[in-house]
Structure 1
């Protein structure tokens, strides 16, 4: 799985599949059910830490679910595997905006929806009209009002796979969107261009506080475990300096959490999704 995650760590999966479309995915799901094989779905591995023992069963990548369409007035439908920036650009070309703040967030629409990704006090689910999910062998659509979500989280039914999201956007001058993309890109480049593989922000920001400040206060900026390091540029980024293992990241994350709790009394919570087995 080190080949399929932005952290470049993780053991092997028993099966790795990239279905082409919903029909292809349904065929795969029926086969997995027939063989009673466990599975998990991923996007492009931007927010994922796979343990060194890998994953038993199947990993289903939605990388090929990357189609984006305009389906009505100010309505854009994006499949789960579409890149965030691609969605913003698609809307920009049609004079629509309102989600420019996700343009600089690495990852896909499915991942952005599942963690209600955002910036500057906004979350992408605020623009969501409906969400298309696969539950078992049934494709179901949920309106935003039916969903349970909040800061950096969305609660979905057990076993649900996000297939696509429908967004209701606002009319926006393309140049205004371009300026928003430019500012966001420059800001993230100056603060987040850590120069090594990472998963973006490793910890969620506690209410009213910034995780990086708490980590700095605990004296952990630049801390190293094996090939993993707390970035010296942005201390809420844990980076792979080369040859890191998942165990390195997990031990480093534990040290950070323990130190922050000791110095600030705050219990940090991982923003990355941690999956798989120990060796």
Structure 2
């Protein structure tokens, strides 16, 4: 027998399914304001849970109805122009930070890295200086094992609090998580919070390190335009930015998507770029680098959604 397509859910269907959720619920919401690229089509439903319990409730309801859940956030994300089907969750309301004994910080997944670094500086705690200038969330930085030349997330991570696909809270020690370049190999689920092992330090020295590295990033990266950070992973013993520059692609454009003339491994949204523009520019850059150097660049950028 031919498979019968399930009819699309109405707004009333979604409202009944999400009854009891205390956070904000939006229908056909544009995801442009939820990505650092300022690009992205609509979500069927966008939910902003108010706390971890609310997040568990959303995930449990989605699991019972067999509806996919996607978490939007972080800086290495490109949402295609057709948007994302199912439920999209934003953790932006999960912003709690607290200090625990032993110089440990706990931060909800929606805490921005600048806010967390500022919290650590005020308490003279060292261990996050490497994150200066990273605008993403704590959860996003864990998932991609975000890092710079000064260090990466795994260096400070003590444990991760996750909400599993059935909506249950699971705490995982960092020692049980395999890490690789720009990736934490986590079980399925949503990063709801993290514990970070910090070290007491000199307040002035910590603050100076952060300010100096932030200035370095401002001088070398296009931080004033919407972007998703580095587009390509660095090949072994080489730099993706160097390869793109050597291929003559600095400043190359497709629509309003442009290879930054400041850092060739960044693509920026100069106005009203679409995801299709960025993807076309990625193809152009990869082809040119392959022809010039023989290297096939691997994406660091995560591409999701429908065309």
The answer to whether structure 1 residue 200 and structure 2 residue 229 are counterparts is: yes
Aligned with 1:173 (options 199, 202, 205): 202
- Tell me how far apart the structure 1 counterparts of residues 67 and 153 of structure 2 sit (CA, whole Å): 33
The within-5 A match list for 1:147-158 is: 147-158=177-188
2:96 corresponding residue in structure 1? 67
- Tell me how far apart the structure 2 counterparts of residues 118 and 34 of structure 1 sit (CA, whole Å): 36
Query: Aligned-pair distance for 1:194?
Result: 5.0
2:213 corresponding residue in structure 1? 184
Contact 2:129/2:150 (CA < 8 Å) preserved in 1? no
- Tell me how far apart the structure 2 counterparts of residues 260 and 113 of structure 1 sit (CA, whole Å): 30
1:5 corresponding residue in structure 2? 35
2:284 corresponding residue in structure 1? 255
- Tell me how far apart the structure 2 counterparts of residues 215 and 26 of structure 1 sit (CA, whole Å): 43
Question: Secondary structure of the equivalent of 1:244?
Answer: coil
The within-5 A match list for 1:96-175 is: 96-120=125-149, 122-135=151-164, 136-158=166-188, 160-175=189-204
The answer to whether structure 1 residue 211 and structure 2 residue 240 are counterparts is: yes
Normalising by structure 2, we get a TM-score of: 0.87
- Tell me how far apart the structure 1 counterparts of residues 276 and 152 of structure 2 sit (CA, whole Å): 31
1:54 corresponding residue in structure 2? 83
The within-5 A match list for 1:234-245 is: 234-245=263-274
- Partner deviation per Cα, 1:236-256 (whole Å, 9 max, x = no partner): 110111121100000101111
Query: Aligned-pair distance for 1:121?
Result: 5.1
Contact 2:130/2:150 (CA < 8 Å) preserved in 1? no
Contact 2:92/2:110 (CA < 8 Å) preserved in 1? yes
- Tell me how far apart the structure 1 counterparts of residues 65 and 58 of structure 2 sit (CA, whole Å): 11
Contact 1:83/1:109 (CA < 8 Å) preserved in 2? yes
- Partner deviation per Cα, 1:102-136 (whole Å, 9 max, x = no partner): 02111111111111111115211111111111112
Unaligned runs of 5+ in 2: 1-30
The answer to whether structure 1 residue 31 and structure 2 residue 61 are counterparts is: yes
Query: Aligned-pair distance for 1:163?
Result: 0.8
Normalising by structure 1, we get a TM-score of: 0.95
The answer to whether structure 1 residue 229 and structure 2 residue 258 are counterparts is: yes
Contact 1:13/1:54 (CA < 8 Å) preserved in 2? yes
